[in-house]
Amino acid sequence: MLDLTYELPKPKVIAGAKHDWELVIGMEVHAQVSSNAKLFSGASTKFGAEPNSNVAFVDAAMPGMLPVINEYCIEQAVRTGLGLKAEINLTSAFDRKNYFYPDQPAGYQISQLYHPIVGEGEVLVELGDGTARPVRVERIHMEQDAGKSIHDMDPEMSFVDLNRAGVCLMEIVSRPDIRSPEEAAAYILKLRQIMRYLGTCNGDMQNGNLRADVNVSVCRPGAYERYRETGDFGHLGTRCEIKNMNSTRFIQQAIEVEARRQIAILEAGGEVDQETRGFDPVKGETRTQRSKEEAHDYRYFPDPDLLPLEIEQEWVDDIKASLPELPDDKKARFIKDFGLTDYDASVLTADVESANYFDAVAEGRNGKLTANWVINELFGRLKKDECDITQSPVSPAQLGGVIDLIASDAISGKIAKDLFEIVYTEGGDPAEIVEARGMKQVTDTGAIEAALDEIIAANPAQVEKAKVNPKLAGWFVGQVMKATGGKANPKAVNELIAKKLS
């Protein structure tokens, strides 16, 4: 497989009043695992159900209830780890993170602090300008989601909906390798892309199925490199964690304003306090949520209700063997096998459905031509209808049929667009449509010549002008096309005109 090679992007530099600053960003991404049942109960994970209808006794932490792990969630976490080229820990364990909150019914969240299921991995984050950042993943652990507290239904009371309580999340923890707001956005989108390929998280950010805590600090140029050389975090600035972001736009805004806030403090001779902050998109500022002094003591300890999680290497190997081709590999293959540009390959591999569609059409056909048709015609048309590729009325076989007719000179590119529109709106077999509606390209030079002769005879003045200025030959091409209903083979028309007007 061809390896994609990229230049490293330059870190974002913010010019302060006194000097330049660089950004250092690490992210904790919470991805809801795609599964029918919760991590430790059989209750449904379906979104949008009646409040408190998807709640098993254990989800409500009723006395004496015990968690039993959902094996499918483990499989999904392993699959995600493998997709991020990460180390899979055959022994992991669950810990309790203790804190009181009404949407956390047991008073603790079951998580994996000490022994996560997935260890170190790496994600290549392309920025679309020929640069890409490899971001190291420190770990992925499984944990329970919380329920939802509702404070706006009653002036006196708060309500709790436990439907989401106990749904399996994967927390994907990066190293502080992200160096700009754009990289942060691209990182979470790349994770989303990979997880969608894997089918492990639907990545729906609006519904909170993918959200991030973003750790931001600033440092002077050169300091980051010293951190990377030594591993000593002392070279970096104090970080603040911006909690619970579920929009790439807000992530970028929040990083930018948080960095500028920290720079202003530092340049004024102050110190950044390590704390948890929230982003207010309306005011465009971050605000303290919890200072270090107020930080919870979570009193983590191994959950005695659950034995250590032991998985077999063989099982991991089976999962590995069943992984789909991942975006980076797919993209490299599209570039190598089909001669696509990096850009086209990126567009086509953005989601697995598009990539599979392209693969199906391109099989045995010209890759570049196929890419043009898929990206420009099909995607363009779908976009007009606000549809995605899964809703395409044109099947890969149908689009392939259109492309075959172009390749065999049966129809011109222009007619092909008309044909595509017919197939898109009415359906049918492209070859049959061409036949039935007489859309076949005229390559019979006799018929073209007759049409041309007629035009020459009717327009002597144009003929004279064209003889002086060969650029005017195009007018004759247009006239012939008009006369033949666009079916004349453009190459044959051009040749005949050149001959007749010379």
Partner 1 sequence: MSDLNKLGLADARDLLRKGETTSVELTESCLSAIDAAGALNAFVHRTPELALERARAADTRLAAGDAPAMCGLPIGIKDLFCTKGVDSQAASNILKGFKPEYESTVSQQLQDAGAVMLGKLNMDEFAMGSSNESSAYGDAISPWRRSDDDTPLTPGGSSGGSAAAVAADLCLAATGTDTGGSIRQPAAFTGTVGIKPTYGRCSRWGIVAFASSLDQAGPMTKSVRDAAIMLEAMCGYDAKDSTSANLAVPNFEAMLTGDIKGKKIGIPREYSIDGMPAEISKLWRDGTEMLKSAGADIVDISLPHTKYALPAYYVIAPAEASSNLARYDGVRFGHRASLDAGDGITEMYEKTRAEGFGAEVQRRVMVGTYVLSAGFYDAYYNRARKVRTLIKKDFEDVFAAGIDAILTPTTPSAAFGLGEMNDADPVQMYLNDVFTITVNLAGLPGISVPTGLDAKGLPLGLQLIGKPWDEGDLLNTAYALEQSAGFVAKPARWW
Least distance to partner 1, CB of residue 45, Å: 20
User: Would you say 161 or 177 has its CB closer to partner 1?
Assistant: 161
Shortest Cβ distance from residue 60 to partner 1 (Å)? Answer: 6
361 vs 363: CA distance, rounded Å: 6
Residues near partner 1, by CB under 8 A? 57, 60-69, 96, 98, 100-102, 105-108, 158, 160, 297, 299-301, 304-307
Say if residues 252 and 280 touch (Cβ distance below 8 Å).
Answer: no
Q: Which sign, positive or negative, has the C-alpha torsion 73, 79, 83, 88?
A: positive
Question: Strand 95-98 relative to strand 108-111: parallel, antiparallel, unpaired?
Answer: antiparallel
Calpha distance 348→354 (Å, rounded) = 6
Q: Please, where are the H alpha helices in 322-377? A: 327-338, 342-349, 352-362, 367-372
State in angstroms the smallest separation of the CB of 48 from partner 1: 22
Helix or strand or coil: residue 420?
helix
Give the residue with the Cβ less far from partner 1, 170 or 309: 309
Q: Which is nearer to partner 1, 69 or 124 (CB)?
A: 69
Q: How far is the CB of 306 from partner 1 (least distance, A)?
A: 5
* Spatial distance between the Cα atoms of 358 and 392, rounded to a whole number of angstroms: 12
Nearest distance in Å: CB 300, partner 1? 8
Burial of 49 (0-12, 13-18, 19+ CB in 10 A): middle
DSSP 377: I
Output 102 or 339, the one with its CB closest to partner 1.
102
CA 343 → CA 244, 324, 362, distances in Å?
A: 32, 22, 17
Query: If you search the block for the tokens 């706006």, which residue do you land on?
Result: 152
Q: What is the largest CA-CA distance in the chain?
A: 100
CB-wise, 103 or 418, nearer to partner 1? 103
- Min dist CB 294 to partner 1, Å, is 13
Q: How far is the CB of 205 from partner 1 (least distance, A)?
A: 29
Q: Alpha carbon 164 to chain centroid distance? A: 24
Half-sphere exposure (Cβ direction) of 60: Cα atoms closer than 13 Å: 12
Closest approach, Cβ 108 to partner 1, in A, equals: 5
Question: For residues 218 and 24, what is the distance between their CA atoms, to the nearest angstrom?
Answer: 6
Terminal Cα distance for the chain, rounded: 53
Q: Are 35 and 70 in contact (CB under 8 A)?
A: yes
CB nearer partner 1, residue 100 or residue 314: 100
Nearer to partner 1, 105 or 396 (CB): 105
Q: What is the DSSP string of 14-26?
A: EE-SSSEEEEEEE
Report the residue number, 105 or 176, with the smaller CB distance to partner 1.
105
Nearest to 245 by CA among 29, 80, 34: 29
Tell me how far apart the alpha carbons of residues 31 and 172 are, in angstroms, rounded to a whole number: 8
Strands (E), 247-302: 275-280, 285-291, 301-302
Amino acid at 323: L
- Taking the complex as a whole, how short is the minimal distance between the CB of residue 49 and partner 1, in angstroms? 18
Per-residue tokens: 32: 């809801």
For partner 1, the closer of residues 60 and 452 by Cβ is 60
Task: Supply the minimum distance, in Å, between the C-beta of residue 362 and partner 1.
Answer: 49
Q: How far is the CB of 39 from partner 1 (least distance, A)?
A: 13
Measured from the CB atom, the residue of 100 and 231 that comes closer to partner 1 is 100
Report the half-sphere exposure of 225 (CA within 13 A, side-chain side).
5
Q: Which amino acid is at 194?
A: I
Q: CA quadruple 280, 281, 283, 286: dihedral positive or negative?
A: positive
> Shortest Cβ distance from residue 303 to partner 1 (Å)?
8
CB of 314 to partner 1, least distance (A): 21
Nearest to 327 by CA among 310, 349, 306: 349
Give the nearer residue to partner 1 in terms of CB position, either 295 or 458: 295
Question: Which of 104/209 has CB closer to partner 1?
Answer: 104
Nearer to partner 1, 227 or 298 (CB): 298
